[in-house]
Chains A and B, each alone.
Chain A
Amino acid sequence: MPANKQPVYTGIGNAQPALSEELFKATEAIYRQNFELSVKNRTLRVLRSLYTVSLKDENIAETAQHITDILCDEMSYQFALLSVVQTENQTVGAVAINQNRVLKEILKSHHLAVQDTIFSLKNQEAVMVQVLAANTPQTLTSLFPLFSPFLPENACVQIEHSLDIRTLFVYPLVYAGRPLGVLAIGIGNDSEQFSDVEKESMVQLIDVVKITLERSNLQRSLQEANNRMKDLDKLKDEFVTLASHELRTPMTAIRGSLSTILEGYAGEISPSVREFLVAAYNENDRLIRLVNNLLNISRIEAGRINFAMTKVDISAVIQEVVSNLDSAAKEKNLTLIYDKKSDVGHVRADCDKVKEVLINIVGNAVKFTHKGGVTVRAAVDGNFIVISITDTGSGISNSDQELLFKKFSQVQGNYAKQSGGTGLGLYICKIMVEGMGGKIWLDSTLGVGSTFHFTLPIFHEGKV
């Protein structure tokens, strides 16, 4: 049977080289696939890390530092340098390099901060500029062309040796046609040894780096726009304040002069002169109110209205306002009464603002009423005190009622023509009343009159 064995043995013997070659190939394929899988796996991990960085609200330098560190720590690249294009100055400059102790020392010994590596976009000698201009990557075998003239050649060689950098890939980062920056990656192999799968993973990483940079840029421009807005707003505010002061100074001087004459301190004046001076006085007063209201509005809109909430004797405030406006009512032969039935106690409010609201509403009522009079009442309603101002004026139509508390509203109907108002008063009243925790509204019947109501919270001891 040896004759039988022979061919089998020979067969095996003959088959062996082929088999072992196949085995070798299979092993190699497994190795390669294993390697590719590990690269892909790592890439996925790094992509996730980069994605996390892109979501942080950090400035560009911090973002860039994270990117270079992640690429070296997690992709095991030897070197990573990220540069960013500054469109304002037309430059591309390094913002971060991977953190490595040896690298840091070498740079320090040459007195180079990596951020000093800045090239004009017109400098055609610079590798970073070339890469961006052509929008194609370059492969280098030395660091020197990248850093020249900022770092001497011997320092570059020193870095290459210490970090074991054999090849540098310099990638343009261009997003939607706009150059964002340049990423340089250093690896410890020759470029031929850099496999397709590694190149592919690099391309994926580059894409995410671009998006991260773009997001960081957007974030910054948003921040800048926001800051500019704030500056402008502040400027506007300062302007309004200054303008109001400059307007008020002469206006109060005019009022003072006119009232000095009208009250007889400057000698006798004839009735016709008085008539014109009264007109001048009233018109000037209207200007003062307008400026006051504008100033109030600008303060309200800048969020700079504060309420100094204290215990306020509401009856006393009503009494004060009513007596202040008494002469204006008498001039028009109107009655102006505070119909005080019982003591309503105290409210929790800002006294000056309550006065302003009352002067506004009672003043309006006097202004728009031509026959009869104005009555102010206060009554307790639950946790609030309701202050009601009733006039026997012409009343306000339903459609006008809706507009009444809006800014610049009263330029409607006959209300405006006779009033000489600014259309701001009730808007300000509404904001002030609501700011103190109350409500404001009105009931009105055309031809009969109107009642304005507003509420203020009752003061409770120990609850300021």
Chain B
Amino acid sequence: MAKILFIEDDPLIVKIYSTRLKADGHEVFSAENGEEGLNVIDECHPDVVVLDVMMPKMDGFAVLERLRSRDAYKNIPILMYSNLNNEEEISRAKKAGVTEFIVKANLSPTQMVVKIEQYLPAPASSGT
């Protein structure tokens, strides 16, 4: 069905979400830091990117800025999430072109999956 790329350094979090997304029939890819994420995205062509803020090597903001500066990823839905409900962070992400900023602690995994699926292309009927 659809492809989702997680750029997230905590494999447990990826596993929690991907278990559900795979059960719903989606394909999940993951990269454990920003640098890797920028490489993996070109290989897997995801429909949605889920991006963590705090990561080693290159943080979520840097990844977001680079993705938005490339034509191929100007309009791709990028959901950014953080454990911090930090207003400065949120406004920074909005300026850099985030599709939606999510505070992890505010959503249960099911709600998070629902959120992700909102941004996926409509299945089959769209003809793709």
Interface residues of A (CB under 8 A from B): 241, 244-245, 248-249, 251-253, 255-257, 259-260, 263, 265-266, 288, 291-292, 295-296, 304-306
Contacts and interface: CB of A to CB of B under 8 A. Distances in A.
B107 to A, nearest CB: 9
B50 to A, nearest CB: 13
B13 A253 contact: yes
Nearest to B112: A256
Contacts of B23: 265
Contacts of A252: 13, 83, 104-105
Given A259-B108, A266-B19, A292-B105, A241 B86 contact: yes
A295 B86 CA distance: 10
Contact of B16 (A245, A260, A291, A305): A260
Contacts of A249: 10, 83
B20 interface: yes
Interface string B5-21: 00000101100110110
Contacts of A244: 83-84
A306 B88 CA distance: 10
A260 B109 contact: yes
Counting from the closest, the 9 A-B pairs by CB-CB distance are: A256-B16, A248-B83, A256-B109, A252-B104, A265-B19, A245-B83, A248-B105, A253-B12, A259-B109
A291 B105 contact: yes
Contacts of B17: 256
A256 B21 CA distance: 13
Interface in B1-59: 10, 12-13, 16-17, 19-20, 23, 54
B105 A253 contact: no
B4 to A, nearest CB: 16
A264 B108 CA distance: 15
Interface string B46-83: 00000000100000000000000000000000000001
Interface residues of B, number: 20
B105 A251 contact: yes
Contacts of B54: 245
Contacts of A255: 108-109
Interface string B75-114: 0000000011111000000000000000011101110000
Contacts of A253: 10, 12-13, 16
A251 B10 CA distance: 13
Interface of A is mostly: helix
- Interface hub of A244, A245, A252, A260 (most chain B Cβ within 10 A): A252
A164 B54 CA distance: 71
Nearest to B23: A265
28 contacts: A241-B84, A245-B54, A245-B83, A245-B84, A248-B83, A248-B84, A248-B105, A251-B105, A252-B83, A253-B12, A253-B16, A256-B13, A256-B16, A257-B12, A257-B16, A259-B110, A260-B16, A260-B109, A263-B20, A263-B110, A265-B20, A265-B23, A291-B105, A292-B85, A292-B106, A295-B85, A304-B87, A305-B87
B91 to A, nearest CB: 9
Contacts of B19: 260, 265-266
A73 to B, nearest CB: 52
Nearest to B88: A304
Contacts of B105: 248, 251-252, 288, 291-292
A302 to B, nearest CB: 12
A287 to B, nearest CB: 10
Contacts of A295: 85
A159 to B, nearest CB: 57
B114 to A, nearest CB: 11
A281 to B, nearest CB: 10
A306 B87 contact: yes
Nearest to A295: B85
B46 to A, nearest CB: 21
A295 B84 CA distance: 9
B20 to A, nearest CB: 6
Contacts of B10: 249, 253
Contacts of B16: 253, 256-257, 260
Nearest to B104: A252
Contacts of A245: 54, 83-84
A379 B64 CA distance: 42
A42 B109 CA distance: 82
Contacts of A304: 87
B96 to A, nearest CB: 17
A249 B84 CA distance: 9
A257 B20 CA distance: 11
A243 to B, nearest CB: 11
Nearest to A281: B108
A295 B83 CA distance: 11
Contacts of A265: 19-20, 23
A204 to B, nearest CB: 56
Contacts of A256: 12-13, 16-17, 109
Contacts of B84: 241, 244-245, 248
B119 to A, nearest CB: 18
